[in-house]
Amino acid sequence: MPNAAIYARYSTHQQRETSIEDQVRRCTEPARRHGYEVKPDLVFSDAAISGKDEALDKRAGYHDLLRAWDARDFDAVVVDELSRLTRGGIELALLHERVDRSRVRLITADGIDSSQPSWSLVFNVQGAVAQQARRETRHRVVRGMLGQLERGYMIADAPFGYRAVVDCGPDGKPIGTRWEVEDGEAAIVRTMY
């Protein structure tokens, strides 16, 4: 029976760690349906790491997948959706070329199958959508951070000499974090200066 590799990834610490488990479960079914065996040593993952090209060097699981791919340890790779592999334009192009060159079948739980004639079109459309989603997320995060700064709240951890104080609204939900001087640490900072 031919082997399939599975790759799973989630982006941030705010996401549930069970996301990897959920993705692997969702990928196992199409792998088996297409006649592939999934061995535990062919399941690769990265937790709390972005899919952007800039974060690629931090993704040990992805690099392990590529090494196994180059060693021809599997016949297909299955992912929940294309964006789990990458959201970066450069890596998407390299991945497309890798699938073409290696003849390893790419299957996504949401519809890409490189054994189908239209796979390249679907791959490129989904890749463009993944890149745009990344851009929109970045825009919303920056907009929110600027808004917090304009409201007088901080967007980073408190430095030495300060402590973070969370302000809550009337409903008890956090609305922002401000810094207050931490007297003991502030004395050390004053001495240094």
Distance between start and end Cα atoms, the chain? 70
Q: What is the pLDDT of residues 76-89, one digit of tens each?
A: 999 999 999 998 88
* CA nearest to 22, candidates 54, 45, 38, 5: 45
Average pLDDT, the chain: 92
pLDDT at residue 13, rounded to an integer:
53
Q: What is the pTM assigned to this prediction?
A: 0.75
pLDDT at residue 15, rounded to an integer:
54
Q: What is the pLDDT of residues 60-110, one digit of tens each?
A: 999 999 999 999 999 999 999 999 999 888 999 999 999 999 999 999 999
Cβ(50)–Cβ(11) below 8 Å: yes
pLDDT at residue 8, rounded to an integer:
95
Residue 86 host element (H or E): none
Q: What is the pLDDT of residues 36-54, one digit of tens each?
A: 999 999 999 998 787 676 7
What residues have CB less than 8 Å from 73, skipping those under 6 apart?
A: 3, 5, 42
How would residue 57 be classed by pLDDT, with cut points 50, 70 and 90? confident
Question: What share of the chain in percent tops pLDDT 90?
Answer: 76
Show contacts of 100-106: CB within 8 Å, 24+ apart. Answer: 102/69, 102/72, 104/69, 104/72, 104/74, 104/75, 104/76, 104/77, 105/34, 105/75, 105/76, 105/77, 106/76, 106/77, 106/79
pLDDT at residue 60, rounded to an integer:
94
Rounded to an integer, the average pLDDT of 141-166 is: 93
DSSP type of residue 21: H
